[in-house]
Amino acid sequence: MSTPSLAGLIRKTTLAALVTLVLLAAVVASSSASPSAAVQDPERNATTPTGWHFWVGQTKAQIDKLADQAGERVVDVNVDSVSPLRFSAVLVRNTGAYARIGGWSYGSEGAVTSKIKATKGRLIDLEPYTDQGKRRFAYTWVKNSGDSGKGWHWNYDLSVKGVIKEINKYKVRLIDLSTYVVDGKRRYSYIGIDNQGVDAKAWWWYVNVTPKFVQQQAQAHGARLIDVERPKAGRMTVIMQRNDESAYSRHVYDYTLSDLLRFQASNGLRITDLERYSKSGSPRYAASLIDNASAENRRIRSIWRSSTMANAPNGTDAWFGIYAKEVEGSVDVGLANTKPYQPLSVLKLIPHLYVMDLLDKDPGLDLLDQPNGITWRALKGKPDEIWCRLRDKGKKTQVYSETLRKTLTRGLGESLNRAHEALLNKYGSATINARIHGLGLTHTNVYPGCKQGAGKKDWTYNRSTLSELGVLFEHVDDRTFFPHNWSNVMGEFYGLMANWGTTGIKNVVVDEAAKAGKPGIVNTFMTRVTIDGKGGGTLLPQSDGTYNGGRGFFGRVQLPFRTGPRGQSTIIKTFVGGYFVDNFKAPCNEDTAANSQSQACRDWKTKQNATYDLFMGEPYRLAIRRAIATWPRAA
């Protein structure tokens, strides 16, 4: 495309940024040019799934070591502090579409130009900083030949007008823009490439604008952000380009590190540009991100994004994770599956596993059925009340007792918090956690539900990951757990769980059987499908009348596969999986929505139930497809 006119760019920038700065003299660095580019730069544009990392607060030596260990190269760098000199960096695995000869470093302008000249390179990221009154740069580069060869240019210490002038002079479009203050005046550095061939893009840049304005412009232009800066609180400076490839991309602003990690993992994204800064004395991040998900994760993400639980109370994204894996087989779906999350009542599986582990060492099974196997305190005449609630109110209580079998059934089947609390009081959180860690679930911890004294953790610190819950179920089924008395203990492990409906699975079976031309097998197929597991959820009322919610499930699914010359025999294959949604916005109290006088609440509840069915069935679609492929047309 043709480069916009200088007048047009001045007008657009002035309206967007509301700034007019005096042009300063600046050193113009020499650039290497090559014929039209063979491919777009993969760092900002490729969506082929690849390995990648980002690191914060590191020395150059530390980043280089991490890059070498992972077979990755630095594609974006941010100066976190000057004294001591520390960096944030984004890295990508240097293979396949992302393979480039390149590197990164820091130093003076002379050091930058010397490196570029010596390597016949081209800058892809530039971060100016000032050290003892002298301008310095952190930068990344690639060799400017072959697939990565482009005409390009760079400069620094410019005003907005100075950047516009050079855009028109060198006929480039911006791919990198940094902003900083010199002697009290706002200045900019840039990297631009020839806007021709595969790099020809409609593009826009805006300085000192609000996040709302950025979002509006991105939507209006059908664009995605490729560079994000934060000049001051509540403002952004960005470059965006038309999303001609319809690549799934997002950007974030003012995120904490934990929120950024959650967002990235939930959406299966890769960071392409990272800006680290301080807000109220704490680190915050702005970033542009692009798709890095497998085809199946993309499909599941699309379902999630269109669901009733995708939005958080503040209008951003709720946190979501999902996982499905064949026992002793491959992972079919995995979004945020390795990130620790709050499992809510799903974590009642942990004291259950602990008791089953004890039972494995007792061949008589008497442990479950001793008449007074467990005791607790409760309000007289109301044995199911939670002790901590009564204790805090100063109520008079009495001691109750029952068998462990009854308490475990209450905990898993009824999801009774009192039962869970009684198990933690009997065995102790520290003892349970130590044994669970010894079984390999090192990121899983369970604490009492009752409020604890100073320095002690309660249920709000409960954590696990979907992958570790997968290990829990997988190691029950592959006999890693319960090695002494597996057949009996495995039966108790699953037998004490609640029965779960298979509607979500059946919906997928019906669809896949129809696609395979085998609709007649559905009923017979479903007779051999089982789901065992544990769910959990919470809704907390908010001041505006809505609810802030969390929801999750984890368990195993058994599917029938046919074998033999004519598919006359059936074998059962087992899959583990589950999902969680944290911090989603609900317009109604879910417990009463179905019977609410409000039609809107009833409609929401109907959609919500359908969403639960989707999350219980869709992660297993590939497995169901594989299973149906083994069945003859006539069941």
Choice among 54-63, 373-382, 456-465, 504-513 with the minimum mean pLDDT: 373-382
Q: Taking Cα atoms as reference points, which of 50, 128, 586 lies closest to residue 293? A: 50
Residue 340 CB burial class (10 angstroms; 0-12, 13-18, ≥19): middle
591: pLDDT strictly greater than 50: yes
297: pLDDT strictly greater than 70: yes
What's the longest Cα–Cα distance across the chain? Answer: 88
Q: What pLDDT is stored for residue 21 in this prediction?
A: 30
| Between 35 and 305, residue with greater pLDDT | 305
Q: What pLDDT is stored for residue 364 in this prediction?
A: 58
Q: Give the model's confidence band at 633: pLDDT under 50 very low, under 70 low, under 90 confident, else very high.
A: confident
What residues have CB less than 8 Å from 356, skipping those under 6 apart? 481, 482, 489, 492, 493
**Token reading at 84:** 């001591």
Q: What pLDDT is stored for residue 568 in this prediction?
A: 85
178 to 90, 311, 428, 430: CA distances (angstroms): 16, 32, 54, 49
- The whole-angstrom separation of Cα 411 and Cα 534 is 10
Q: What is the pLDDT of residues 402-444, one digit of tens each?
A: 999 999 999 998 898 889 999 999 999 999 999 999 999 999 9
Q: Taking Cα atoms as reference points, which of 335, 359, 313, 296 lies closest to residue 626? A: 296
Q: pLDDT averaged over the chain?
A: 90
Q: What pLDDT is stored for residue 141 in this prediction?
A: 98
Percent residues over pLDDT 70 in the chain:
91
Find the mean pLDDT for residues 154-167.
97
Beta carbons of 464 and 443 less than 8 angstroms apart: yes
H helices of 337-416, in order, are 349-360, 366-369, 387-393, 404-413
Q: Taking Cα atoms as reference points, which of 561, 570, 571 lies closest to residue 624? A: 561
Q: How many CB atoms lie within 10 A of CB 617?
A: 21
Q: Give the model's confidence band at 26: pLDDT under 50 very low, under 70 low, under 90 confident, else very high.
A: very low
What residues have CB less than 8 Å from 266, skipping those under 6 apart? 304, 317, 319, 320, 321, 335, 336
Q: Rg of the chain over CA atoms, in angstroms?
A: 29
- The whole-angstrom separation of Cα 292 and Cα 50 is 7
160: pLDDT strictly greater than 90: yes
DSSP string computed for 236-254: EEEEEEE-TT---EEEEEE
Choice among 84-98, 168-182, 387-401, 542-556 with the minimum mean pLDDT: 387-401
Find the mean pLDDT for residues 12-38.
39
Angle between helices 6-17 and 160-170 (to 10 degrees): 150
| Between 453 and 484, residue with greater pLDDT | 484
Residue 178 CB burial class (10 angstroms; 0-12, 13-18, ≥19): buried
Regarding pTM above 0.85, the answer is yes
Q: Taking Cα atoms as reference points, which of 419, 408, 560, 427 lies closest to residue 489? A: 408
Q: What is the pLDDT of residues 615-632, one digit of tens each?
A: 999 999 999 999 999 999
Q: What pLDDT is stored for residue 378 in this prediction?
A: 75
Q: How many CB atoms lie within 10 A of CB 261?
A: 15
16: pLDDT strictly greater than 60: no
33: pLDDT strictly greater than 60: no
Find the mean pLDDT for residues 263-270.
97
Highest mean pLDDT: which of 5-14, 319-328, 497-506?
A: 319-328
Find the mean pLDDT for residues 19-23.
31
- The whole-angstrom separation of Cα 535 and Cα 554 is 6
The strand order across the sheet containing 72-81 reads 52-58, 86-93, 72-81
Which residue do the tokens 């007019």 mark?
20
Angle between helices 429-438 and 349-360 (to 10 degrees): 70
Q: What pLDDT is stored for residue 566 in this prediction?
A: 80
Q: Give the model's confidence band at 394: pLDDT under 50 very low, under 70 low, under 90 confident, else very high.
A: low
Find the mean pLDDT for residues 229-240.
97
Beta carbons of 37 and 124 less than 8 angstroms apart: no
Find the mean pLDDT for residues 170-194.
97
Highest mean pLDDT: which of 202-216, 349-363, 407-421?
A: 202-216
Choice among 118-127, 269-278, 391-400, 470-479 with the minimum mean pLDDT: 391-400
- The whole-angstrom separation of Cα 382 and Cα 363 is 35
Q: What pLDDT is stored for residue 392 in this prediction?
A: 59
| Between 15 and 512, residue with greater pLDDT | 512
Q: What is the pLDDT of residues 595-606, one digit of tens each?
A: 999 999 999 999
Report domain extents, the chain: 6-293, 294-341+465-635, 347-355+372-458
- Phi-psi bin for 566: left (phi > 0), alpha (psi -120 to 50), beta? alpha
Highest mean pLDDT: which of 9-18, 385-394, 601-610?
A: 601-610
